[in-house]
Chain A
C-alpha cells in the first residue's frame, strides 16, 4: 500500500544551522506531497506542498522538491531558528482519495 517514511527524531540543531529532514514515499501512481508542522499545543499546520514531479514547495524559508526518481520529498531550511522547534510530518495524498497518509513525524529541537 501507499506509505511515507521519515527519518527518526529528535533532530537537535543549534540556531542558524542547516536543516534536512528526510522523507521518502511509496505510492502506486503520482501523489501530492505535503509537509505539515505541529507546534506545541497546536494542530497540524500545512507548511508546504507539491503536486507533481520537480515541483518545489516553499514557505517561511523551508523548501522541499518532489523527486519522482528517488520518491523523495526532503524538507530543508538554510538557517533554523529557535521558533522552528516543532514536530514535522511528511504526508501524501492520491488524487482519487480524500485520505492523507502521514509519516511518523520528526521532532526538531533548535537550541539558542
Chain B
C-alpha cells in the first residue's frame, strides 16, 4: 500500500540552526501538508501546498518556516533559525484531491525534532 515517507525519524539540532525535514508524499497525490504536535498538545495544522504554492497556512507558520517541492517526489519543511519551542513531532501528509472534493489526507510516521 502506498505510504508517505518522512526522514529522518529523529532530528536533534542546536537552537538557532536551520533544519530541513523531508517527506516523500504518495506518488499520484497533488496536495501536501505539514502538521506538528508539541508533546502533550494537539496536532496542529501548519501549511498546505498545491501547484507549487502555499494554499493555506496557520498563524504558526511565520517567516521562520518555508516549504518547497524541490523535485517531483520530495516535499520539505525548512525552519530557518530553530527555537526551543519548535521541538515537536512534525507530520507530513498528502492527498489526491483538494478541499472541495473527497479529500483524504494520508500521514507519514513523523519526524521528531529536538532543539537543544
Question: A residues bordering B, Cβ < 8 Å?
Answer: 32, 36, 41-46, 49, 89, 93-105
Contacts and interface: CB of A to CB of B under 8 A. Distances in A.
A32 B91 CA distance: 21
B115 interface: no
Residue among A44, A46, A93, A96 with the highest chain B CB neighbour number at 10 A: A44
A98 B48 contact: yes
A46 B93 CA distance: 11
B91 A99 contact: no
A101 B44 CA distance: 7
A46 B100 contact: no
A95 B99 contact: yes
A72 B36 CA distance: 25
B111 to A, nearest CB: 11
Interface of B: 3-4, 6, 31, 33, 35, 41-45, 48, 55-56, 58, 91, 93, 98-100, 103-110
A13 to B, nearest CB: 23
Contacts of A105: 42-43
A42 B109 contact: yes
Contact of B56 (A32, A97, A103): A97
Contacts of A97: 56, 99
A100 B35 contact: yes
A95 B102 CA distance: 10
Given A98-B55, A99-B45, A45 B99 contact: no
A60 to B, nearest CB: 15
16 contacts: A42-B109, A43-B107, A44-B43, A44-B107, A46-B105, A95-B99, A98-B33, A98-B45, A98-B98, A98-B99, A98-B103, A99-B48, A99-B58, A101-B45, A102-B42, A104-B41
B35 A43 contact: no
A45 B106 CA distance: 7
Residue among A42, A43, A49, A97 with the highest chain B CB neighbour number at 10 A: A43
A89 B4 CA distance: 19
Given A95-B100, A102-B42, 18 more contacts: A41-B109, A43-B3, A43-B6, A43-B91, A43-B108, A44-B107, A93-B103, A94-B99, A96-B100, A97-B99, A98-B48, A98-B55, A98-B56, A98-B103, A99-B45, A99-B48, A99-B56, A104-B41
